[in-house]
Each structure stands twice: as structure tokens, then as C-alpha cells.
Amino acid sequence: MRFASLGSGSRGNATLIEHGATCVLLDCGFSARETERRLARLGKSGDELSAIVITHEHGDHINGVGALARKYDLPVWATAGTQAVDRLGRVDTLHSFSSHQAFALGDLQVQPFPVPHDAREPCQFVFSDGARRLGILTDVGCATAHIVEQLSGCDALMLECNHDAELLQNGQYPPSLKRRVGGNQGHLSNAQAEALLRRLETGNLKQLVAAHLSEKHNTPALARAALSAVMGCADDWVGVIDQDDGLDWREV
């Protein structure tokens, strides 16, 4: 199994997870044209995708889903709550899944789990090829015991490090937005990501990347320092997904 990111942050998120003949696009927050450009950078084209899976209905995760699904005739998977918001436009093949029930997409096993975030029915995922597990967690306001259980023992983790709490507090956002981002249904700070990682079983962990960094209220160095403090590794062992450049393929 391998994964890559087309980019991550408030201006758009999209992740590729591939195993065997199956290549899943998790979220598509970029326009269809921009997504095609970023796919090409990773050696992929839209017609090589198997499906699009959606975490939740915020624009930075679904802006390009409808157009891409129509152009390449891709099935789209989303919870009933996400579908109820109806921001996808016409999608010919739309599947529902329970955020508590694993399902198969070709050669990949997909285990969703619900997360606290200000959307209708947001969830995040563990993808598995049957042997290895890749845990993905972004857009989550706080850690829960269920999240800890799901992400423990993963071989690779993509973990939200949205903001540094002090940079957010001292930043230019209006108070209401600061409360939303920093709240229990907002986004994980570096310190929250660090505390969550401390609660996980990490004996199998061989890949760790920080995702969904705020461009205004965080820096790659701060995110790396928070996560490497837990792992006792060199800072540069921790990957950081760039909003523009994404993340190149990594084998799990």
C-alpha cells in the first residue's frame, strides 16, 4: 500500500491511497482542473482512480468532487449526513456508508470512524491492505477514546497539526473564528496532536506526516517539533504536507 497527498490545508485537501489495482481519492477540495494537474505530478490521471471517498462536506474537502466524479464516472462514497448537505451536484453513483462500519473498495479495506467537527456527519479513516494500516485524521476538534482506539497500532499516520494555539490567539481572525477553530468541534492544535500521539500505541509506526497546517497560524517546524517530541526522532523524520506541493508517494 502507498499514499500521497495532492495538498492539505484550508485551501484544499486530497489524499491518494493505492494498493494493487485500487486507487482511492480521499476528499477533493481542489477544482477538477487543479486536481488533474496535481494528480499528474504524482503520475496519476483521473481515469486511474477507483473511487472518491469523502470525510465531510466542508469546501476544502469537496469543492472538486462533483466535477471530477462526472468527468471520470467515479463512484463517490459519503455518510448519509454528508450527502444530506447536497453540495456535490449530480453524481451518478453515490454510495452511503456507516461511520462505524468497515467496507471494501477493491483491494483496500476502509474503516471509517466518527470525529468531533462542525459538520453533519464527519468521519476519518484507517485504510488497510490486509497487513498494514494507514490512519488518517484531520478536521477534528479534540481527541476521543474512540479515535485513540482506531489509530493505535497503525503503520503510518497522517495527523492534523492545524495551528499553534498562541499564534491563533494572537492572529488576525475575528474572535468567533478563533473560537471555532480552537474549539472542540474545530481543528487540532500542535499541542493537541502531540497529546493524542502520546496516547497511541506507536510500536508499528514507520511513517508520520503532519497535515492540514494553517498557513497563518502554524509553521512546519512547529508541527514537526510537536510530533517528534513524542517519537523521540529527528524533526525531519516527521513529514509535513504542503498546501501547494502536497506530499510525494510513501510506501506503508
Binding site for Zn ion (CB under 5 A): 58, 60, 139
Q: How many CA atoms lie within 13 A of 206 on its CB side?
A: 9
Residue number with CB closer to Zn ion (88 or 205): 88
Residue number with CB closer to Zn ion (57 or 129): 57
Q: How far is the CB of 119 from Zn ion (least distance, A)?
A: 6
Q: Is 7 left (phi over 0), alpha (psi -120 to 50) or beta?
A: left
- Identify the CA nearest to 157 among candidates 190, 205, 195: 205
11, 37, 61 from 126: Cα distances, Å: 24, 27, 17
Q: How far is the CB of 9 from Zn ion (least distance, A)?
A: 8
17: β partners? 3, 24
Residue number with CB closer to Zn ion (158 or 230): 158
Q: How far is the CB of 118 from Zn ion (least distance, A)?
A: 7
Residue number with CB closer to Zn ion (36 or 139): 139
Residue number with CB closer to Zn ion (60 or 164): 60
51: β partners? 24
Q: Which residue has the cell 517519537?
A: 231
Q: How far is the CB of 90 from Zn ion (least distance, A)?
A: 23
Q: How far is the CB of 122 from Zn ion (least distance, A)?
A: 7
Phi, then psi, of 62 in degrees rounded to 5: -130, 0
Rounded Cα–Cα distance for residues 18 and 23 (Å): 4
